Structure 1
Amino acid sequence: MPSASSVVPGSDRPVSPSLWRDSDFRRLWVGQTASQLGEQTSLVVLPLIAVVTLQADAGQLGALRAVGQAPILLLSLFAGAWVDRWRARTVMVLTDAGRALALGAAAVAGLLGGLGLPGLLVLAFAVGCLSVLFDVAYQASLVRLVNHDQLVRGNSALEGSRSSAQIGGPALGGALVSLLSAPIGAASSAACFAVSLLSIRRIHRREPIPENSERPSPVWRRIHDGLRFVVHDPSLRAVGLASAAFQFSFAATMTVYLVFLPRELHLSGTAVGLALAATGPGALLGSLLAARLPQRFGYGPVLVSAAALGDGAMLCVPVLHGPDAVTITVLLAANFVFGAFGQLVNVTVMTVRQAVTPSGMQGRTSATITFIGMGLTPLGSLLGGRLAQGWGLRTSLLMTAAGMMLSPAVMAVSPLARLGRKLPTPTEGSGALCVRAPDHCE
């Protein structure tokens, strides 16, 4: 039941100006925070196990990252179609349970001495599949839980929890692998997913299943509707293209980056974790700024300028040398700036996407943009590994970081750059599809 004093007539959604007075939103926030902490920890633990414990080279690390990212390409569109038929709470609880079990099993295997590269590949793929479902569901859950005018604050709070996880997750994962053992690192991620499960399953508000009918559309028809909706909306189409440019280059950059730090800069696992964790405080600042700057300066100007500044910060990393204090300070500063402006872009883009999308299309729109934006990340990871082997770590990192600048360039020439201070509505943002498929416009 809603904890707010009043609700929208005919709906369970609260109209309280403070989201934090809503106990169900607080449970979603806690669950999201714990889930992101588990995911951020595992994103550092698994590569460090491969590089430090199993002595994997850049090509093998690229393959590991590609396997973990492959579910984005293989599963995203199906995940969107399924989430639009299921309750988001149910999906999140089941995927948290699956990830906790998978990483718990990996911890046991590691303690018994049976955790090798093949097992690591299987684990990365399984966790990747479940993470795709969780991410699509949680983005749809916010729209089903709060009102349209609360989306900016809701996204700011939830992405702030992701920022908190980015602070603690990499540092925790790196420290556990370096100071204790790889199995302990995997077990910590499993524990985080268990906490998320327990919090999210306590959400009491009844969530209607979108498009609930006795004869649901075939899954391929639903996927086609999601693709067509994104393609026909100029803003969403630009979001997908800009995201694709960024994610492909970022995947290549991170593959080189995770080898560059320990082998070229000679940083320890703990130092690598702290360097990655520096994006967290920046991202937390970016989440706070996202609740204010777009409404003051306009969504378009904020998107373009923040993307250019954040992505540009990574260009200074390839010139660093050695593990001295100056190098580490510059590395921390670059990651902080990247985290701050990157998170400002993330929250603003997510809010625009949710605002222009009808309720019954939220899952498919999120999944379609994920598919377009991140579907090429496995290829980016493989490219990063190949570049590192053929061109060297420093040159490859400069090339891949420069590629990230394509994203703000795409946004600058798209309708996103012309968005003003007012958040668009589904009617304004999806008129083309409403004419062609009015049954999807709510």
Structure 2
Amino acid sequence: MPSSSSAVSDSGRPVPSSLWQDGDFRRLWVGQAASQLGEHTSLVVLPLYAVLTLNAGAGQLGALRAVGQAPILLLSLFAGAWVDGWRTRTLMVLTDAGRALALGAAAVAALLGGLGLPALLVVAFAVGALSVLFDVAYQSSLVRLVKRDQLVRGNSALEGSRSAAQIGGPALGGVLVSVLSAPIAAASSAVFFALSFLSIRGIGRRESIPERSERPPRVWRRIHEGLRFVAGDTLLRPVCLASAAFQFFFAAVMTVYLLLLPRDLHLSGTTVGLALAATGPGALLGSLLAARLPSRFGYGAVLVSAAALGDGVFLFVPALHGTSLVTVPALFTISFVFGTFSQLVNVTVMAVRQSATPERMQGRTAATINFVGLGLTPLGSLLGGLLPEEWGTRTSLLVAAAGMLLSLALMALSPLARLGRTLPTPPETPVPSA
């Protein structure tokens, strides 16, 4: 298999030495950013439609979020096996088209008054399933598209846009629902996927994909290889466990949060969106810090300290009871702090993960970590829907926010915390197939 450093365009020209002079990388970055923004905008648009239009309760809202996240648990491992053997450009284009069609159809149905909760569940599952495949594909595409020494910079750009979309997308979704209505907001999410389709479709460089043997390993053997590699690695294993703890409790936090802001604090959709949007400038600052702090203070020290600040700030939300003059600025500050340090953790972890993984294992490693790290999010969303019915929103949010600190403990007690100023290198010989 050719290495990434020898990638050439269809015309035979070498890859540009400067990452941002590389037109194909720019197309990937623009397409990935648009796709991530569409995905994370829809994650708020669909629940808000359920709450504001269908009058869904806490249990129904938790179920809707769980259905949208279930494909992470059901499909991630298969996605990794498929991506390692196919062209990522083709997979990303197809998944963008599918999500644009699903959300476009939902918008039309909603405008005609025919989008009930059952249909909304189908749309949420379809968008979630296609997003799983896209997310694994784009994480693997970078390794095939750029030189090895450009991975850290390329990964920082891609993960920076993903984290910004993950944080700012829900804020944009809240504003769109408030200003344009939920059906038009869903159509706007479809437009983001269409833009991603057009950008990624323009990538012209041939990918260096693994050569297929006459009798390629069965999908289950490839999945097992990925699981065994991640479980046996002293850095990737704690990344999985810490990610699982964070994502489980963060899913619960966000479910309760979307109930507390409009119902307990009596904030309008616009104010909710603006409060969440404060994470955007924080994410930008986090991206800048991620390019400087790990090489100066060490990757381990940055991971632990940033996780403590980013996760711990949500513990202050349940204490908010005052007027909007006090509450809204406090929410802005909390969102900004969370955006800054969660972005710093995301970019740093992704750099560690890609650097510690052999090229031929990139897809399955990404899928395995997504499976373990994000697979519990449906259960977290269900928990976030059930807890307020027993304990109320404030106590439920406090419990879920405290649970996020388990991720910090897992990183602090692992070899991740002892990483120095340089990134790890992958093993010379990848784990063989079972």
Does the alignment reach a TM-score above 0.5?
A: yes
Contact 2:160–2:347 (Cα < 8 Å) also in 1? no
CA distance in 2, matches of 1:323, 1:99: 40
The equivalences for 1:110-259 within 5 A come to 110-165=110-165, 169-259=169-259
Per the alignment, residue 277 of structure 2 pairs with 277
Contact 2:41–2:173 (Cα < 8 Å) also in 1? yes
- Superposed CA deviations along residues 412-434 of structure 1, whole A, max 9, x for unmatched, are 1101111111111112xxx6x74
Structure 1 residues 203-212 or 105-114, which shifts more? 203-212
AA partner of residue 262 (structure 2) = P
CA distance in 2, matches of 1:347, 1:400: 24
Per the alignment, residue 100 of structure 2 pairs with 100
The answer to whether 1:44 aligns with 2:40 is no
Which residue of 7, 12, 22 maps to 2:8?
Answer: 12
The answer to whether 1:268 aligns with 2:273 is no
Contact 1:308–1:408 (Cα < 8 Å) also in 2? yes
Residue 39 of structure 2: SS of its match in structure 1?
Answer: helix
Task: State the TM-score, normalized to the length of structure 2.
Answer: 0.95
Per the alignment, residue 407 of structure 2 pairs with 407
CA gap of 1:113–1:323, structure 2 versus 1, over 3 A, is: farther
AA partner of residue 277 (structure 1) = A
- Superposed CA deviations along residues 257-276 of structure 1, whole A, max 9, x for unmatched, are 11011101111111111222
Contact 1:247–1:374 (Cα < 8 Å) also in 2? yes
Structure 1 residues 332-341 or 211-220, which shifts more? 211-220
1:214 deviates by 2.6
- Superposed CA deviations along residues 318-349 of structure 1, whole A, max 9, x for unmatched, are 11125512211111111111111111111111
CA gap of 1:318–1:409, structure 2 versus 1, over 3 A, is: same
1:191 deviates by 0.6
CA gap of 1:163–1:412, structure 2 versus 1, over 3 A, is: closer
| Contiguous gaps of at least 5 residues in structure 1 | 1-6
CA distance in 2, matches of 1:386, 1:9: 50
1:168 deviates by 5.5
AA partner of residue 398 (structure 1) = L
Residue 275 of structure 2: SS of its match in structure 1?
Answer: helix
Task: State the TM-score, normalized to the length of structure 1.
Answer: 0.93
Structure 1 residues 365-374 or 273-282, which shifts more? 273-282
CA gap of 1:322–1:52, structure 2 versus 1, over 3 A, is: farther
The equivalences for 1:325-404 within 5 A come to 325-404=325-404
Residue 72 of structure 1: SS of its match in structure 2?
Answer: helix
Contact 1:282–1:337 (Cα < 8 Å) also in 2? yes
Contact 1:160–1:288 (Cα < 8 Å) also in 2? no
1:179 deviates by 2.6
Structure 1 residues 159-168 or 65-74, which shifts more? 159-168
CA distance in 1, matches of 2:35, 2:252: 25
CA distance in 1, matches of 2:309, 2:32: 27
CA distance in 2, matches of 1:372, 1:172: 28
CA distance in 1, matches of 2:84, 2:66: 27
Contact 1:148–1:355 (Cα < 8 Å) also in 2? no
- Superposed CA deviations along residues 379-421 of structure 1, whole A, max 9, x for unmatched, are 1111111111110000000000000000011001101111111
**Aligned residue pair count:** 428
State, as a whole percentage, how many aligned pairs show the same letter: 76
AA partner of residue 12 (structure 1) = V
Per the alignment, residue 300 of structure 1 pairs with 300
